[in-house]
Chain A
Amino acid sequence: MRLPDDDEIYDVDQTYLGPPGYYIGRLRYRMIAVTPVVVLVGFAFLVKTGVGFSLLSVALTVLVALRLSQWIVNKTTHERPIGVLVTTFWHELTAVRFPTCGQRARRPSAFRRRSTTVGAEHPLPTARRRRWRSYANASAAAREEA
């Protein structure tokens, strides 16, 4: 038997040609929705970083925002709407990672905060040092108890 499906019906063309009578080109509805959001985020970035609004910074932000919106719109389709892209992004951030802590001996020393400085005083430990033999004795005692 012939088995068509309904997926095609849901993939309705989403092109905006401009206000009635004024053809401005073929714009995707998604682009119209995404661009202002990205531009606003860009402006927020300008404020937060203290760059401020100048002709150059605003123009660059708008250009970058336009390019970014285009990229987002190209990546999304009827099959993968923007909502899915956002969810996926969030899920990627929050997925469980393979535990690496405790599996390595120590963190790389280059990024460790120094606990001493060259030329500082380095006193000998005052507490009674436990020698290797005391560890060995303790484990032997534990074995016997078991």
Chain B
Amino acid sequence: MFGFTKGGARRLAVATTSRTPSSTAAKWALSRVAGHVTFSDKRMVAWYLLEPQRWSFRTVADGEQLIEAHAAQVAELVGRTVYGRITTRPYAVQSWAEAAWNNSPAPTEGFAKILERDQIQLASRQQSDKLVYFGIDLGSRSTTIDLTSRVLPDVARRELEAIQHRLDEVDEVMAGPGVDAIPAVGNDMAWLLARSFALGCPAPTQDTIEETHWDANALHEFSGTVHWSAEPLAQSVRIDATTGERPITRHVVILTVGRMGELRIPEVDEPWIAKTDKLPFPAEWMFRVEVRSPEDTSKEMNKLSDRVLAQREHYLDDHGKQPPRQLARQADRASQVEDEQRSGFDGLATRTRGWYRIAVSAPTQEEALARAKVVQKIYKPAIKIEREFDQFRLAREFVPMEPLANTGHTRHLPILKFAAGVPAATAEVGDKRGVLIGYTSGFAERPVTWDPWFGPEVVEGSGLVPIVGGLGAGKSFLAGGVVYKTGAQGVPWTVLDPSGRLGALADLPEFRGVAAAINLLQSEPGALNPYALVPEPQLAWFRSEPDPKHAFTLAKQAAQSQRRDLMTDTLRWCLPAEDQDNPEVLSVLRDAVSRAEARPYSTAHGVMMALQNDPDTDRVVASRVLRRLHESAERELSRLFFATPQTGNHGEALSDRRMTFFSLKGLAQLDESKPKSEWSYDELMSRPVMSLAAWSALRSVYRADFNERKGMFLDEVHEITAVSTGRTLVQKVATDTRKHDIAALVSTQNAANVIGQNINNFVGAAFVGKTTDDEAQAHNCRLLGLPTGVGYEAEFATLSRRSRRSEATGTPREFIFRDGMGGEDGKGGVEKIRIDYSNHERLTAALNTTADPAKRRALELVPGEVPDEGAA
């Protein structure tokens, strides 16, 4: 019996290592590793690493398909034992930070500080990636090979060659759809061994390992640094490890999966194995599943049927008593299973026999037991999780090649129920090179890092990113953080934020000297000259085209007509409401705009000259329009559109800073419920001002180098798309982002503003926040590529929920994030995420728009008066 040590050997071990316990006391079954195959004296097991599977926001049909594909693959391993081992690898905080730094065009000192704060936060939250290993039993070794391998060191390699075709067969099955596993070689194998021998101990930092073969001596590297022990009838196993710098002690509690009720996956229940991902602490899994042949199952079912019948007869015939109803049920079910084994060739009726263990660990036994209780609780009431004696041998099962501790709690599961555990399910969203924006908050907590330029640069998708959500969903908060972090990376940003809240970002020390906040309403007359806002194309933009000159000429013509459209639309808004829809007036206006020159330096003055001088037009109408336009040129808001040859904007930049925050503070909010004729002048002007401001933001984006990364954030896009030129703008942004490497974040209250522009195909990543309106929820589904009418709509209303009793200010900002990074359907992962900038105090203070009576102006006026907290 292994593991049993004579006192003398133990004393020797203690004497040699003084207080650090040695593992000479424990003999392990694992004797050798070659490639991805582990050997004991008798058996061989090939190990594979499974591809993570997205689970959140899968449709029922899609989820069932995944389960069936997984089951069908495993069913091909009939007669073999499948070992499963689920462990975690700490999120590579340092390599992420390096990737994020290298991904920055011109990282500033501020960005170094941001990265530092994010790294501290990530490290303190103990984020980890899930690794799922499957080991397939390759059968036992012959005694001859076993003996010769002790003499010839090369035998392991030759043996591997001999069983190559058996291995190839298993490799092929494991690479199939639904499993998508790759052989666990080198680093992956070393990680499996390290995590198994030092079960439950904090993960050591792993160097890149080049060797793929370990013999018994080399394996001592893993087993020699740990000592496992347990007291009689102990509730946990004590593991002392000296893998790191200091000796570590962990108490590990092993739980076994007991009887399970009927589950409904994916409709009602979550994948039962992956459920432990929800825990706030890591839980390791080990399972051993024997895939049984139909003949075996049939035989066993017949035997069980006989027992059931005999027992029934004992009650009825021998004693004339009513037998328990369970017997009838069992007889039915046994014959049903037996029948299933004879029909169907897809392997989905295959049965398994297995043992499933979960390990939780903590520095003290009490803590470990408390964690075990939490595990038992999350599985209640559908699955019973048992904690049994024999903890020492149960824990040893987690090490590859160790034998089964005992046959208690054998689970007889149909292969579909095993596959419905979806061990590889995970919550992965975002890339691994971008900035940290938060954590997933649905299935499991994982960090979400996102690079807005991943779409245009890597996936060759669009850089348009809609941020959708109702009032207070946290759209500006999300975008503000992205602007802050990527801005510090050295990316130029142009932000159009009508309310002016994001202007506070310009005052942050990270952007001192490189950012400017401009209120467009306070600019000089003619600052929003429509002609100047459409950028003149440059030949360099078309170098990749087959005929650059031709494309350049066409683009110039398009820009000219764009300017004319913009001017017509703007001037139309300057007319009284009754004239705005008058075809005669519009025709006169359009003619005048067509005749006037439409270069970036042209002005509305040219149009007015054309109206004045053209003899062919209706003079009465023309002079009426001219009078109205003259009036407008003098009024407070509309004078922004009317540049003259001497004043206003003629195509020059409004700001020479890297970061520009345009605001329209003071602009009236439009009341949609009122008829157009009742709109006040300020309300009437709000839409063209907004639309032109957006164009002006767009122009300032085009100013930068064609190949350089650029960012643009347009807030309240639903106001911009209400006018035709605004819609054109959003379309233009959508089509140009990839070519010009622009990340365009557009925030809106309704996804229809983006989908309605028929640009859904261009959308890459997307964020959807809390939405309560039914119609808007359906649009959200379309935007995220989710099916409508299957219950996802309700999910949008449950985002950012806060407790009624909570007095903490600020709601949790939750979004559903689609990263647009390819994958099965090309739309990338979809996950619920929680935006978290809590570790950047200045940023959160700048973005905090929550009303605070303590900050009211009346208090500021009283010098030295500090608001009394007791009085509040």
Interface positions of A (Cβ within 8 A of B)? 1-21, 23, 79-81, 83-84, 87-88, 91-99, 101-103
Contacts and interface: CB of A to CB of B under 8 A. Distances in A.
B232 A95 contact: yes
Contacts, number: 162
A86 to B, nearest CB: 9
Given A8-B326, A91-B406, A94-B3, A17 B318 contact: yes
Interface in B312-344: 314-315, 317-319, 321, 323-324, 326-327, 329-330, 333-334, 337
Most buried by B among A2, A8, A16, A99: A99
Contacts of A14: 311
B411 interface: yes
Interface of B: 1, 3-5, 7, 10-11, 13-15, 19, 21, 25-26, 64, 67, 227-234, 238, 240, 258-260, 262-265, 267, 301, 304, 307-308, 311, 314-315, 317-319, 321, 323-324, 326-327, 329-330, 333-334, 337, 351, 386, 388-390, 392-393, 405-414, 416-417, 420
Q: Classify the secondary structure of A's interface with B.
A: loop
Contact of B414 (A3, A17, A80, A88): A3
A7 B227 CA distance: 37
A88 B233 CA distance: 9
Contacts of A10: 304, 410, 412
A79 B603 CA distance: 87
A139 B1 CA distance: 44
Contacts of A11: 326, 330
B388 A88 contact: yes
Given A2-B264, A6-B351, A12-B307, A80 B4 contact: no
A92 B324 CA distance: 37
B408 A80 contact: yes
Given A79-B408, A80-B388, A103-B14, A5 B417 contact: yes
Nearest to B351: A6
Contacts of B231: 97-98
Nearest to B391: A95
Contacts of A8: 326, 329-330, 333
B10 A99 contact: yes
29 contacts: A1-B264, A3-B416, A4-B262, A6-B333, A6-B337, A9-B333, A9-B334, A11-B326, A13-B323, A17-B315, A17-B321, A79-B408, A79-B409, A81-B407, A81-B408, A83-B406, A88-B406, A91-B392, A91-B406, A92-B389, A92-B392, A95-B3, A95-B232, A95-B234, A96-B5, A96-B228, A102-B14, A102-B15, A103-B14
A5 B412 contact: yes
B55 to A, nearest CB: 15
B392 A1 contact: no
A98 B417 contact: no
B409 A3 contact: no
Nearest to B231: A97
The 5 closest A-B pairs by CB, nearest first: A95-B392, A20-B318, A98-B229, A84-B408, A6-B412
A9 B3 contact: no
A8 B247 CA distance: 46
Contacts of A4: 262, 333, 414, 417
Given A6-B333, A12-B327, A13-B311, A87 B411 contact: no
Nearest to A98: B229
A97 to B, nearest CB: 5
Contact of A98 (B21, B304, B337, B407): B21
A6 B329 CA distance: 12
Contacts of B1: 94
A123 B364 CA distance: 52
A15 B318 CA distance: 13
Contacts of A94: 1, 3-4
A50 to B, nearest CB: 29
Contact of A87 (B232, B314, B406, B410): B406
A28 B410 CA distance: 21
Nearest to B269: A3
A80 B410 CA distance: 9
A98 B362 CA distance: 18
Nearest to B264: A2
B392 A96 contact: yes
Contacts of B414: 3-6
